[in-house]
Amino acid sequence: MGFLDIKGTDDPSLDGMTNKPKPKPSMPRVTLRMARQRPALDFVLPGLLVQSVGLIVGQGAVGKSMLSLSIALAVASGRSIAGVWKPAATGKVTVVMAEDGVDVLQERMHFLREAEGITEDEDDEIDERMTILSGRGYDLRLMQMENGNAVLGMWYDDLLEIAKDQRLVILDPLRFLHDADENNNGAMTRFMRIVQQIARLTGATFILLHHTRKGGAGDGEDWAAASGAGAITTAARWQASLRPMNATEAANQGVPDEMRPGWVRLAVDKINYGQQPQPTWLQRTEGGILMHGDTPSHLSEIDRIAMRYERASNGGATVDDLY
DSSP 167: S
pLDDT single digits (tens) 282-299: 999 999 999 998 888 754
Average pLDDT over residues 256-281: 92
The answer to whether residue 186 scores a pLDDT higher than 50 is yes
What strand order describes the sheet that includes 205-210?
A: 130-134, 93-97, 168-172, 205-210, 53-58, 238-244, 263-271, 280-284, 290-292
Output the pLDDT for position 213: 76
pLDDT band at 45 (very low <50, low <70, confident <90, very high): very high
Helix axes 120-127, 64-77, angle to 10 degrees: 90
Closest among 69, 190, 212 to 141, alpha carbons compared: 190
